[in-house]
């Protein structure tokens, strides 16, 4: 079941920008949204606008009241980190 929380560098986040492999970050937390895409009330295309990036602004523009951290609790990959890519 995975369950391993680990830091994610923005350069790694950026590679997860496809519908079958989509991650996004909100307020410093990275989520794997791949399986949530088809459940998003705004549709998958809207949610994909935030794939591979820090989607905090996009998210807050549309629905700052939505409790993403609870909805995506099982999809948490880990904290967004800004120091260096993995393995360095
Ligand atoms: C609704 C866009 C991320 C959960 C919507 C709607 C849009 C939208 C346009 C309105 C749909 C409508 O009323 O017809 C976006 C964009 C996102 C994003 C651009 C980021 C790039 C997320 C995330 C979650 C989420 C990360 C939660 C995991 C929801 C929920 C609604 C909704 C629960 C219904 C809200 C309500 O009616 O009060 N979204 N969304 N969205 N989205 Fe997102």
Looking at residue 62, which CATH number applies to its domain? 3.10.120.10
State the Cα angle at 22 between 54 and 14, rounded to 5°: 50
Residue 4 in domain = no
Question: Which residues line ligand 1 at a C-beta cut-off of 6 Å?
Answer: 36, 40-42, 46-47, 49-50, 55, 58-59, 62-63, 66, 68, 71-72
Structural domain of residue 69, as residue ranges?
Answer: 10-79
Running along the chain, 88 residues long, what does each successive block of 10 average in pLDDT?
A: 84 98 98 98 98 98 98 97 67
Could you identify the atom of ligand 1 that is nearest to the CA of residue 55?
21
Q: How far is the CA of 16 from the centre of ligand 1 (A)?
A: 19
Residue 84 in domain = no
Work out how many domains the chain is built from and give that number.
1
Q: How far is the CA of 21 from the centre of ligand 1 (A)?
A: 19
Determine the pLDDT at residue 83. 74
Nearest CA to ligand 1 atom 1: 42
Cβ–Cβ under 8 Å, residues 77 and 6: yes
Looking at this predicted complex, what is its ipTM? 0.89
Residue 3 in domain = no
| Residue 34 CB neighbour total at 10 angstroms | 16
């Amino acid at each position: 079941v995975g369950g391993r929380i680990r830091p994610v560098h923005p350069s790694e986040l950026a590679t997860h920008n496809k519908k079958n492999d989509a991650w996004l970050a909100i307020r410093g937390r990275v989520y794997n949204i791949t399986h949530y895409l088809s459940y998003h009330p705004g549709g998958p295309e809207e949610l994909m606008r935030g794939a591979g990036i820090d989607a905090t602004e996009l998210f807050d523009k549309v629905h700052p009241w939505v409790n993403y951290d609870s909805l995506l609790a099982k999809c948490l990959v880990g904290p967004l980190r800004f120091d260096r890519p993995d393995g360095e």
